[in-house]
Structure 1
Amino acid sequence: MTQPSRIHLFQGYGVELEYMLVDRTTLQVKPITDDLLKHVLGHYGSDVDKGMVTWSNELVMHVVELKSTKPESDFVALDKEFAKNVTDINTILASWNAMLLPSAAHPFMNPMTETKLWPHENNEVYTIYNKIFDCRGHGWSNLQSTHLNLPFYDDEEFARLHAAIRLVLPLLPALCASSPILDGRLTGLLDTRLKYYKTNQSRIPCITGKVIPEAVFSRRNYFNTIYEKIKTDITPFDPEGELNPIWVNSRGAIPRFDRGSIEIRIMDIQECPSADLAVVSFVIELIKALVAGKFIDHEAQMKWKTEVLAQLLDQTVEKGQQAIIANAEYLALLGMPAKAATAQEILKHLVERMIAQGKLGEWKKPLDVILEDGPLAQRMVKATGAEPTHERVVEVYKQLAQCLAANEMFRP
C-alpha cells in the first residue's frame, strides 16, 4: 500500500481486505474484476481511488482487494468506509448477477479449470510466477486474506516490532481461521488456506521459510540472510532477474524497508469488515503490549526460536481455538501462569486484560462472538454439518455473503 512518508510505531496502519466475486445464484466464481474496475475508471486499470479506501486487482480475476488508501488510525471510520464500498461494489456487480463473497477460500472452485489470471497492466510478475509455480492451485488462485501493515521508522523500531510480531503469529489462526472447506468438503483443518500457503512455493523453499520469520532484527542482516538467499535461489527460474526478492518473500510477516512497514499476511479474511477490524485491533494492541515490554523484555523476545513458534502455528492452523498450547514458557510470556491452555483460553485472557485497561471497547461485540463461538471456520463447520451437501454449502456461503453486505457477524 502507498505510504507517502515514513512514520513511527503505531502512528497509522494499512489494512487490506480481499473478496471473491461470485454468481449470486450459483456462487460460481465470476472472473470480472477488470470489468468492475473499468466500470468506474472508464478503461482497464488496476486501482480505483475512492478516498479513504482504494479498490485494486489481485493475481486472479475473481478477487478484488479493498485497502486503506493511506495509513489510518481511526478504525471506526475505516469500518464504515469499507462497508460503504462493499455496498457500492455489490450495486455495480448486480448488473452481472454477481456479488462479493467473504471467507478465505471458495468452497467448491476448481482452480485447475476456473483460474483466470489478471491480464492487464502490471501483469508481468504474475506471468513469471505462473511460469515457475503454476498458479492454478488452491494456494495461488483460491485464497483471500486480510493484510495488516504496521509502520517502523528505523532499525531500532524494526527490531522491536519484528520481535513482537513473531510471537503473535501463532495465535492468529485461532482468532481468524475461515477456510474449512475446499473441493466441496470439509478438509479437517480450520485454516486450510495456511496449509497451502506454507507449501505452494515449496519448489523454492526459502521464499516462505517456516512462515514464522527468522530471528533477524536489522535491515542489513535481513538482506544478507534472507533476501540474498532468495535472490540466489530464484535466479535459475528467473534468469532475466525480473522478480524482486522483496516482492517474492512470502513469510507470514514481511518487512518492507523501502516504505518502513511490516505486513502481516497470515490472517484469513472474516465475514464482514467489522469482524476484520476487531481482529486487527486486537492484534495491534497485543503487539503494542509486547513492544512496550508489558510481558517480557525485548531481549527475551528476540531469543524465541522460529522452529518452536512454527510448531505452535501448526497446532492452531489445524484446531483453531481448541488447540492445546502446552508450552509453559509461551504462556508465561503472555502473562498466563499455567503449564497448558487452549488457544481460546489464551485469547480470552488477553482480550479481558485489554478491555479492563479500557481498550477494544468498540470491538467487544465482534470479539465476543469469536471468543464464544470460535473463529469463523468453526462457526461455518457448525452451520454446514460434518458431511455437508453442495446445497447446504451454498446456503451457508450465501448467508456469509449477506453478513458481508450488512456488515454483520455470522452466527449459525
Structure 2
Amino acid sequence: MTAPLLLKGFEVEMFTGRPDGTVVGCADDVARALPGFMLEPDRRNLEYATPPAAEYRQQLGQLLEPRHTLRAWLRQRDLTLLPGSCLSLGDSRSFERSDPTNSYHSLIERTYGTRVVTASVHLNFGIADPERLMAACRLMRCEGALLLALSACSPFLDGRVTGAHSQRWRQFPITPPRIPLFLHHGHYIQWVEEQLRLGAMHNVRHLWCSVRPNGRCRPYEIDRVEVRICDLLDDPLELLAVAGFCELRLLQLLADPERHDPLWASTMDADALAALADRNDQAASRQSLAARLHHWRDGHVLTAAQWLRQSLNDVQGMAESLDLEGWLQPLHSILRNGNRSMRWLRSHGEGESIRAIVRREATALECRERELHQHLCQGTPVTACFAPTTSLATP
C-alpha cells in the first residue's frame, strides 16, 4: 500500500417483515432484546452501526455479524429482513411509532409523516482536520448523484410502481430545504447556529441532506464526513464497493485538493455548485444510471453511467496500489446489469409481481449473507471478485 486507508463505518437501516414480503415492525422489541440495534421513529425499520475500521475485510465481518444474530432472533418469529428502501408492499398511510414517549419522534411524525419511513445506508469516513473534512463534504455533495445512481433500490411503494428509481430520495424531506456548499468550517458553524435560531433545524442532528459533517460535538468538533444519499445497499459487497469508490475519490482529494475540491477546481461558484448538485440528485432519483447529469467541473452533460466509468478509470491506478481493485468489482457488475431498481423494474415489466420480487430478493439476501459468513468463518479470501451466486447478481 502507498497510503493509509481511512477509518470508516456504516449505519445500516433495514425493514423487517414476513418471508412473503409483508412488512412487520419489531424494531422496539429488537432494541430491547439485542445489543447494538437502534430505533428509527417508525418500528418497521431498525438500524445498526459498525465500529470504525480501515480494512475492508474487517468491515465485512462487522456488517455481517449483527445480521447473523438478528436473523436468529427473527427466525424464531417467522420474520426476515426485507430488501428495498421504501415500503414496497405498504402501508405508507400510517405511522407505527417505535417509541411513543420520544418527543423528537413526535415532532418527526407530526412534521413529515411517513415520508421519513425509509431504509438506507450512511457511509462515514474519518478525516480529522476540519478544513479537509469540509472539502470532502463538498466533493461528496457534488458527486452524490453517482452514489444514488449505483444504489437505487426503491422503485415500489404500497404495491405499485412509482415511476422513480429512488422513491426514497424523491419523498425524503431535505431539511432545511436549501443547504449551501460550505466554504469552510466557520461557514458551517455560522450557518447551523442561524438555522437553530430560526427554528429551521430543531437540533444539530436535524440536518437531513445528501452529505454532512459529523462528530462528537457538531458543528464545533467534527471528524468525519457522513454520506447519506445512498439507498439501501443490503449486499455487503456492493456496500463495500461503493465505499471503496468514495474512499478513493476522497484520497484523491486529500492528495491534490486544487484538482479535486469543487470550490477550487470548478468554473462555477459555490451557489451554482449547490444548485447543480441538488438538480443532479433529483435526476438520479428519477432515472439513476441513465440520468443526464451536469458535471461539477464545467457543467457539461453526461449520463451517470458515463461519469462513473470515467471516474472508475481515473481511480484505477490508486485502487491497484491500495489493493482495493477487487473490492470495486461489484460496481462494474452494476454498470453492466443495472442497479437493483433497474433489475426489479425489468422483472416486473416481464410479468413478475412486486410481491414475488420482494419475496425472491429477501430469500436471496439471506442466502448471500450465509455464503459470505461461511467464507469469513473458514478464513478463505473474500473480496468483491467473489461472484454472487444468488439473484442479487442478475435480474
Answer whether TM exceeds 0.5 for this pair: yes
Q: Structure 1 residue 399: deviation in Å?
A: 4.4
Q: Is the contact between residue 258 and residue 265 of structure 2 (CA under 8 Å) also seen in structure 1?
A: no
Q: Is the contact between residue 164 and residue 291 of structure 1 (CA under 8 Å) also seen in structure 2?
A: no
2:284 matched to 1:316? yes
Q: Structure 1 residue 375: deviation in Å?
A: 1.7
Aligned-residue RMSD, C-alpha: 2.7
Change (3 A) 1:10 1:401: closer
Q: Structure 1 residue 294: deviation in Å?
A: 7.1
SS in 2 for 1:65: strand
* Cα-to-partner distance string for 1:117-150 (whole Å, 9 max, x where unaligned): 22178x231122223x153x2x212x11110122
Mapped to 1, the partners of 2:357 and 2:297 lie a distance apart of 41
2:341 matched to 1:365? no
Mapped to 2, the partners of 1:33 and 1:98 lie a distance apart of 12
2:216 matched to 1:250? no
2:99 matched to 1:119? yes
The 4+ residue runs of structure 1 with deviation greater than 4 A are none
Which residue of the other structure, out of 10, 15, 27, is the alignment partner of 1:15? 10
Q: Structure 1 residue 283: deviation in Å?
A: 1.3
Q: Which amino acid aligns with 2:91?
A: N
Mapped to 1, the partners of 2:123 and 2:345 lie a distance apart of 26
Mapped to 2, the partners of 1:391 and 1:221 lie a distance apart of 47
2:260 matched to 1:284? no
Change (3 A) 1:252 1:127: same
SS in 1 for 2:259: coil
Which residue of the other structure, out of 16, 31, 34, is the alignment partner of 1:37? 31
Mapped to 1, the partners of 2:134 and 2:365 lie a distance apart of 40
2:74 counterpart residue number? 93
Q: Structure 1 residue 268: deviation in Å?
A: 0.5
1:349 counterpart residue number? 310
Mapped to 1, the partners of 2:281 and 2:29 lie a distance apart of 38
Change (3 A) 1:219 1:341: closer
Change (3 A) 1:296 1:226: same
1:269 counterpart residue number? 232
Change (3 A) 1:188 1:388: farther
Q: Structure 1 residue 178: deviation in Å?
A: 1.0
Change (3 A) 1:82 1:282: same
Q: Which amino acid aligns with 2:240?
A: L
SS in 2 for 1:20: strand
Q: Is the contact between residue 380 and residue 396 of structure 1 (CA under 8 Å) also seen in structure 2?
A: no
Q: Structure 1 residue 391: deviation in Å?
A: 4.3
383-392 or 276-285, larger mean C-alpha shift: 383-392
Which structure 2 residue ranges, 5 or more long, are not aligned? 373-387
Change (3 A) 1:150 1:174: same
Change (3 A) 1:164 1:390: closer
Q: Structure 1 residue 10: deviation in Å?
A: 6.0
* Cα-to-partner distance string for 1:84-138 (whole Å, 9 max, x where unaligned): 322221111011100112321121111223x3122178x231122223x153x2x
SS in 1 for 2:228: strand
Provide the identity percentage: 18
Which residue of the other structure, out of 95, 107, 124, is the alignment partner of 1:128? 107
Mapped to 1, the partners of 2:83 and 2:327 lie a distance apart of 19
Mapped to 2, the partners of 1:374 and 1:233 lie a distance apart of 41
SS in 1 for 2:84: coil
Mapped to 1, the partners of 2:73 and 2:296 lie a distance apart of 52
2:120 matched to 1:145? yes
Q: How does 1:333-348 map to 2 (within 5 A)?
A: 340-348=301-309
101-110 or 380-389, larger mean C-alpha shift: 380-389
Q: Which amino acid aligns with 2:255?
A: A
Q: Which amino acid aligns with 2:97?
A: L
* Cα-to-partner distance string for 1:24-77 (whole Å, 9 max, x where unaligned): 2x322221122223333xxxxxxx1xxxxx3322222121212113x2111212
Q: Is the contact between residue 383 and residue 396 of structure 1 (CA under 8 Å) also seen in structure 2?
A: no
The number of aligned residues is 360
Q: Is the contact between residue 254 and residue 263 of structure 1 (CA under 8 Å) also seen in structure 2?
A: yes
1:76 counterpart residue number? 57
SS in 2 for 1:195: helix
Mapped to 1, the partners of 2:152 and 2:258 lie a distance apart of 26
Q: Is the contact between residue 16 and residue 25 of structure 2 (CA under 8 Å) also seen in structure 1?
A: yes
SS in 2 for 1:228: helix
Mapped to 2, the partners of 1:10 and 1:125 lie a distance apart of 36
2:168 counterpart residue number? 193
* TM-score, normalization by structure 2: 0.82
SS in 2 for 1:316: helix
Q: Is the contact between residue 316 and residue 323 of structure 1 (CA under 8 Å) also seen in structure 2?
A: yes
256-265 or 74-83, larger mean C-alpha shift: 256-265
* TM-score, normalization by structure 1: 0.79
SS in 2 for 1:80: helix
Q: Is the contact between residue 19 and residue 144 of structure 1 (CA under 8 Å) also seen in structure 2?
A: yes
Mapped to 1, the partners of 2:168 and 2:211 lie a distance apart of 16
SS in 1 for 2:23: coil
Q: Is the contact between residue 230 and residue 249 of structure 1 (CA under 8 Å) also seen in structure 2?
A: no
Mapped to 2, the partners of 1:286 and 1:326 lie a distance apart of 18
Change (3 A) 1:10 1:59: farther
Change (3 A) 1:96 1:216: same
Which residue of the other structure, out of 21, 31, 36, is the alignment partner of 1:27? 21
Which residue of the other structure, out of 62, 65, 72, is the alignment partner of 2:44? 62
Q: Is the contact between residue 279 and residue 367 of structure 1 (CA under 8 Å) also seen in structure 2?
A: yes
